[in-house]
Chains A and B, each alone.
Chain A
Amino acid sequence: MTDTAPLAKPRSQWADVWVQFKTHKGALVGLFVFVSLVLFVSVGPLIWAKDPTFINPDGATMIRTRNKPPSLEWPLGTDQLGRDMLARMMKGGQVSIAVGLTAMVISITLGTFVGVIAGYFKRLDNVLMRVTDLFLALPLLPLLLVMAMLFRDPLSKAFGTEGGTFLLIVVAIGLTSWMQAARVVRGEVLALKEREFVLAARSIGTPSRRMILRHILPNVMSPIMVAATLGIANAIITESALSFLGLGFPPDFPTWGRLLFDGAEYIQQFPERVIWPGVAISLTVLSVNYIGDGLRDALDPRIRGR
């Protein structure tokens, strides 16, 4: 090894991450399923252009088209009011996936922020963790109900019925589900803070902000990923519970959770009406879980390349 040719520049970390991600089969399948689901709910309605809330105004026709089994006209059948299930699944999926992702992002951001601050700054630790305990001790559903009661009308006025409700639900779920993430992250940060590389960074003069971004956050990615993937499932289910209680989206507005609850009444006669949204929710959660798993492995240089 004498005079070597000019060395290639260090590769971008994200190229490495992608290479490793590709080796995780589960993650690839998960990514494929998730992308398919997103395409199904976003592009699907453009191809299958039936109105998901359309109830035939002609009573007799409506009664004849109720509870139809799957057929060419209604690939997933119809519900008890003769509405097309496929269109409802697509429309419902839009809302459910959007709610799940947004609420997860809010709760993870909040949880990570609180956790990192509490773990890193000793002064704030006690205050923040007591606030976390307070939120954990609050009964969730009544709190959500009160929030919905108080803020639904003003928000609906400001952003329209759907937009307002979406905002309300997403914020409500985000605000009530960040505590687990915060506690886990705080614990990790407390342990990390004592590691010598943090001390080394301090001896270099790295200020707290960059210390957190450069040294602490990348090393707490694993628990955050886990919390995030579980958070999506939780958010979708909570949204359906809220809608079921009449405090989420309006009753005729389809979401996967809503479809699930509507179908539950007819589970004896038409089990498929529960199965479709159930499968969709499970697939979303599972695929996100696998993506998270693959991402976590890919982000860890110790696992990368094995």
Chain B
Amino acid sequence: MLDAKPSVKLVTKLVEVKDLKMYFPIHTGLFRRHTGDVKAVDGINFDIYQGETLGLVGESGCGKSTVGRALLRLYELTAGSVTIEGEDIATLEPEALRKKRPMMQMVFQDPQACLNPRMTVAQIVSEPLDEHTDWSADQKLAKVYELMDAVGLNRVFANRYPHAFSGGQRQRIGIARALALNPKFIVCDEPIAALDVSIQAQVVNLLEDLQEKLGLTYLFISHDLSMVRHIADRVAVMYLGRIAEISPREPLYADPLHPYAKALLSAVPDPDPSREATRQRIILKGDVPSPSNPPKGCNFCTRCPEVIPICREVKPELAEVRPGRFVACHLVPAQNNNAAGSTSGTTVQKHNQQGEPEQ
């Protein structure tokens, strides 16, 4: 299956991120001079294909959420472009951006904080409709009920306020709001992180069902690796504002290529006790460097167990090392050109991803 020709289903790129940079300026001193930047996202490239779920994982503070928010231009980008359906979000005029909003929506991490405590469920869910449609109140209400059905909320709740709901129900409200305008692309910013484990499964299943029914495309940001394995088609591993590896789910979990991906995935507990007992954890030493002062060369060079001199000098670019697998590491291409030796042309093609061939 791996050497199948690129399947037709996945070829349309919905989102194309090129060299995305998001710096937050640091002002210090008496005159609040601009003395540096927190490089939350420092030049990343990836594509998201129509109908797929791209998982985005990494430890806290690595810039996952910033990527998600930058993609919807909730921040003004420092540099780079985000092309969604052929339009560059990063440079759109405010009014054009507003017109574009309905097709890209977001589900937030904290279901408590993302709902206005002074609005009823009906008001919250119909806010997007108020902004982007000129429907009558009855039409909006009908749509609100329809959305509540779709996310599994009882219609009777329409009149209640967010504080009266449990975390899982609130997250459903948030999802209903995101769905109101029939978006194509939804950024799920750790939608399950604040939920109880039993509720997490419900919400994830809901997201999957909706994806199937409505043909949605997700960017699923999470630090829960097993959950990402469950939901994502492809997974991007981030470290300190850069992408370490993007691979289809199964190959990544079976055989991570980037040393950071290896370390991260070795931390996933195994439900089978016998395998769990023999699980080899790679414990990284030291702390994550400050994003305001990332190391020269590879971001990971300060903690990498396999570091070689070139890592401290030259930033590795994200390159395709095996079909569909992109890794930013000096070690990986050298190893795999020989080992994989697959098709001739696939060695180092920068920023030219192929989707994972459908099984």
Contact = CB atoms under 8 A, between A and B. Distances in A.
A122 interface: no
A196 B118 contact: no
B163 A301 contact: yes
A7 B154 CA distance: 11
Nearest to B107: A200
Interface residues of A, number: 29
Contact of B114 (A11, A199, A207, A210): A199
Contacts of A11: 159
Given A197-B115, A302-B117, A10 B101 contact: no
A204 interface: yes
A205 B72 CA distance: 10
Given A10-B159, A196-B109, A203-B72, A219 B132 contact: no
Interface stretch (B47-55, B120-128, B239-247, B327-335): B120-128
A55 interface: no
A16 B101 CA distance: 33
A199 B108 contact: yes
Nearest to B129: A204
Given A204-B127, A206-B127, A301 B117 contact: yes
Interface string A281-302: 0000000000000000001111
A202 interface: yes
A64 interface: no
Contact of B101 (A195, A203, A215): A203
B158 A7 contact: yes
A210 B131 CA distance: 9
A205 B127 contact: no
A202 B104 CA distance: 12
A299 B119 CA distance: 11
Given A203-B101, A204-B131, A197 B158 contact: no
Given A196-B108, A199-B69, A301-B161, A205 B98 contact: yes
B82 to A, nearest CB: 14
B168 to A, nearest CB: 17
Given A200-B177, A203-B72, A204-B101, A195 B113 contact: yes
Interface string B158-181: 110101000000000010010001
B156 interface: yes
Contact of A203 (B74, B110, B119, B158): B74
Given A9-B141, A204-B127, A301 B132 contact: no
A218 interface: yes
B27 to A, nearest CB: 12
A201 interface: yes
Contacts of B117: 219, 301-302
Interface hub of A7, A195, A204 (most chain B Cβ within 10 A) = A204
Contacts of A207: 98
B116 interface: yes
Interface in A154-206: 195-197, 199-206
A7 B156 contact: yes
B147 to A, nearest CB: 14
B265 interface: no
Interface hub of A1, A195, A210, A301 (most chain B Cβ within 10 A) = A301
Nearest to B69: A199
A35 B104 CA distance: 52
B276 to A, nearest CB: 36
Contacts of A197: 113-116
Q: Nearest 6 pairs between A and B by C-beta?
A: A205-B101, A301-B161, A196-B114, A196-B113, A205-B98, A218-B118
Given A199-B74, A301-B161, 7 more contacts: A7-B156, A7-B158, A10-B158, A196-B110, A203-B105, A205-B128, A301-B117
Interface of B: 69, 72, 74, 97-98, 101-102, 104-106, 108-110, 113-120, 122-123, 127-128, 131-132, 141, 145, 154-156, 158-159, 161, 163, 174, 177, 181
Interface of A: 1, 4, 7, 9-11, 13, 195-197, 199-207, 210, 214-215, 218-219, 299-302, 304
13 contacts: A10-B120, A10-B158, A199-B69, A201-B116, A201-B127, A203-B106, A204-B101, A204-B131, A205-B97, A205-B98, A205-B101, A214-B127, A304-B161
